[in-house]
Structure 1
Amino acid sequence: MNEYFAFAILALTSFFTLINPLGVMPIYLTMTAELDQEMKKKTALKATIVSFIILILFAITGQLIFKFFGITINSLKVVGGVIFFLMGQDMLQARLVKTKISEKEVKSYTNDISITPLAIPMICGPGAITNAILMMDTAVGNYALKGILIAVIFIVCLATYLILLNSTKIYDLLGETGNNILMRLMGLIVMVIAVEFIVSGLTPIVRTMLKI
């Protein structure tokens, strides 16, 4: 029981901090400023549904992709850890993550902003995708853990939708300072998760190299 609870907490905190709906919120507000309330709701709903589907697809097919390209999960843990660390560092300095989107790109996506850039890569970025693959690898052979992972991804996407839906109220309530503080806290959590991934990925690689 403790194993399932610990896995659920790790999955919940890692996905929430990597997706970072509070960080997506200002961009969402900017991009939907000219839309009416109904269109804003549809945009947020479509973006979170697409993100959920993509994360589940990568979580399920991640191992097949590894086998096809001859990639090991330990290598992905190291690379994923580096990505997480850089993302966490940017969040710790309370600025938008570089791997997600630039200000210039925001203006270029006007036809369907719910898919690009909101769903990809704002909500469902490389960090969240990598995390889905790694967490599913941890749950291999355990259907209960897989069920927990899928449920957590759903919960985080639902929370993201609700946050975007109420983004105006939340942003006004927290203010710029409050949003910066929250982003820094989430950045610290992401960096801690990054170190764990790097250590767990490097350990077996070093042991293989040294034939321990």
Structure 2
Amino acid sequence: MSINSLKIVGGVIFILMGQDMLQARLVRTKVDKADVDAYVNDISITPLAIPMICGPGAITNGIVLMESTTNFMEKIILIVVIAVVLMLTYIVLVNSAKIYRWIGPTGNNVLMRLMGLIVMVIAIEFMVSGITPIIRQILKISP
């Protein structure tokens, strides 16, 4: 497994997530009312946002970014940036009800679609940066 393959797979995951966000779809599963009630009342179930916050896309992104660092200082900076993002995510999640009341359902849909577009752009960048070295290696083109 190479980092380039990981970039391509991460790009595909981000494309799928971005497409769902762009179309304002949160969940694709079909469940009946009884399953929803059991899900809501089960304390062991994680919130729906967790797969996007710390799912395969986030993990792939972390691995790719850590692999692209060239020295110890860049690794420290990346870890600090990840900690800052985690803190900002915590603040947003704690205040999500207030934020939703402030922006309303229309603002929420607009932001979700905008973020979906941004996630898809990141996905394309991941895929291109993963495919380019593989194509160069196949065609024996030096960088």
Per the shorter chain, which TM-score range? 0.7 to 0.9
Distance 1:194 1:154, change over 3 A: same
Normalization by structure 2: what TM-score? 0.82
Instruction: Say whether the 8 Å CA contact 2:14–2:120 is kept in structure 1.
Output: yes
Aligned counterpart, 2:72: 143
Letter in 2 for 1:87: M
Instruction: Say whether the 8 Å CA contact 1:84–1:193 is kept in structure 2.
Output: yes
Choose the corresponding residue for 1:124, options 41, 54, 57.
Answer: 54
Structure having the larger proportion of residues in helix: 1
What's the CA shift for 1:75? 0.6
Choose the corresponding residue for 2:106, options 132, 152, 177.
Answer: 177
Structure 1 CA distance for aligned equivalents of residues 41 and 7 of structure 2: 32
Gaps of 5+ in 2: none
Gaps of 5+ in 1: 1-70
What's the CA shift for 1:120? 4.5
Normalization by structure 1: what TM-score? 0.58
Distance 1:109 1:209, change over 3 A: farther
Deviation digits for residues 28-84 of structure 1, max 9, x if unmatched? xxxxxxxxxxxxxxxxxxxxxxxxxxxxxxxxxxxxxxxxxxx10011111111111
Instruction: Say whether the 8 Å CA contact 1:81–1:194 is kept in structure 2.
Output: yes
Aligned counterpart, 1:192: 121
Aligned counterpart, 2:39: 107
Taking the TM superposition and a 5 Å limit, the aligned residue runs for 1:13-162 are 71-96=1-26, 107=39, 110-113=42-45, 116-117=46-47, 120-139=50-69, 141-162=70-91
Deviation digits for residues 190-211 of structure 1, max 9, x if unmatched? 1111111111111111111122
RMSD of equivalent CA atoms = 2.4
Runs in 1 of length 4+ with deviation above 4 angstroms?
101-106, 117-120
Distance 1:127 1:97, change over 3 A: farther
> Which of structures 1 and 2 has the bigger CA Rg?
2
